[in-house]
């Protein structure tokens, strides 16, 4: 009988009853909080995935850059297949001199001191030239670095041939060690016959060093 009485009393609180409004408000807040928590979780997952992707891309950046350079002759070509006879028989074009500028940079995580030993040199197309960069590890622990390079203007990259250089190869420097690294190169004689190169007498060779992370074996990636 008591339950029947209570049941009969329920309609006293109608559609616009304050208790109903309070209940609906709490239900709405609960739903909003749940949706907000889902959005926060989604944002956290997204940022975490983005962080992992960024780290992965940082490891892959150097080999991907190398493949891009090889595919499109971008940034100059490190040619391991240059025949000695070709280099020996090249005739420098003394009527045309190219000024090659050298610049150096390091990534934000690389703590080496890295710079060119010369700001610029003049070289004729078909003439071999030797330049040097120097790197120093100022820390009390060994650091392994790896470098990429770039040649500008980009159109000149296909004519810039490096016989020997330190790009795309791991370089380990012990604590407080300093080394000089050579770049042996030449500008292809065909540079002078390309109409696009007619008014380009300045080329910039730029290197950037990155720290090679421990446990990431890049040696096989850089093999031809």
Q: Look up the CATH number of the domain holding residue 158.
A: 2.60.370.10
Residue range 51-66, pLDDT digits in tens: 444 444 444 444 444 4
Q: Which of the four pLDDT bands, split at 50, 70 and 90, describes residue 68?
A: very low
78 and 111 Cβ atoms separated by less than 8 Å: no
Q: For 73-116, where are the alpha helices, taking DSSP H only?
A: 84-89
Question: At residue 157, what are phi and psi to the nearest 5 degrees?
Answer: -60, -40
What strand order describes the sheet that includes 98-106? 120-123, 98-106, 202-211, 143-152, 171-173
User: How many domains does the chain divide into?
Assistant: 1
pLDDT of residue 168: 79
Q: Is 144 within the bounds of a domain?
A: yes
Residue 54 lies in a domain: no
pLDDT of residue 165: 86
Residue span of the structural domain in which 131 resides: 75-211
Determine, yes or no, domain membership for 37. no
Question: In the predicted model, what is the mean pLDDT of residues 179-196?
Answer: 95
Residue 218 confidence (pLDDT): 46
If one compares 50 and 167, the residue with the highest pLDDT of the two is: 167
* 121 in any annotated domain: yes
Which pLDDT value is given to residue 164?
87
Q: Which residue has the higher pLDDT, 9 or 166?
A: 166
Check if the beta carbon of residue 193 is closer than 8 Å to that of residue 95: no
Look at residue 137 and tell me if it is in a domain.
Answer: yes
pLDDT digits (tens, 9 = 90+) for 93-129: 999 999 999 999 999 999 999 999 999 999 999 999 9
Contact call for residues 132 and 118 (beta carbons, < 8 A)? yes
pLDDT recorded at residue 43:
60
The residue that leads in pLDDT, 47 or 176, is 176
Q: Is 79 inside a domain boundary?
A: yes
Asked if residue 218 is part of any domain, the answer here is no
Question: Is residue 111 assigned to a domain?
Answer: yes
Q: Using one digit for the tens of pLDDT, what is the confidence trace for 1-12?
A: 444 444 444 444
Predicted confidence band of residue 153 (pLDDT cuts 50, 70, 90): very high
The pair phi, psi for residue 13, each rounded to 5°, is: -90, 95
């Amino acid at each position: 009988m008591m339950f029947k009485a209570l049941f009969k009393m329920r309609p006293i609180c109608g559609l616009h009853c304050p208790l109903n409004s309070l209940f609906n408000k709490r239900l709405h807040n609960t739903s909003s909080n749940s949706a907000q928590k889902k959005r926060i979780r989604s944002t956290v997952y997204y940022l975490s995935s983005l962080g992992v992707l960024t780290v992965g891309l940082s490891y892959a950046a150097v080999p991907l850059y190398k493949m891009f350079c090889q595919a499109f002759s971008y940034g100059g070509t490190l040619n391991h297949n240059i025949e000695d006879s070709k280099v020996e028989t090249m005739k420098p074009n003394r009527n045309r001199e190219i000024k090659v500028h050298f610049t150096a940079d390091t990534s934000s995580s690389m703590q080496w001191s890295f710079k060119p030993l010369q700001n610029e040199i003049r070289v004729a197309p078909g003439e071999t030239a030797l330049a040097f960069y120097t790197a120093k590890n100022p820390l009390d622990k060994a650091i392994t670095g790896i470098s990429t390079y770039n040649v500008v203007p980009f159109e000149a990259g296909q004519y810039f041939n490096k016989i020997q250089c330190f790009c795309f190869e791991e370089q380990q420097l012990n604590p407080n060690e300093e080394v000089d690294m050579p770049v042996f190169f030449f500008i292809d004689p065909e540079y002078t016959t390309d109409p696009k190169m007619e008014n380009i007498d300045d080329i910039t060779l730029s290197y950037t060093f990155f720290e090679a992370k421990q446990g990431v074996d890049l040696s096989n990636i850089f093999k031809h």
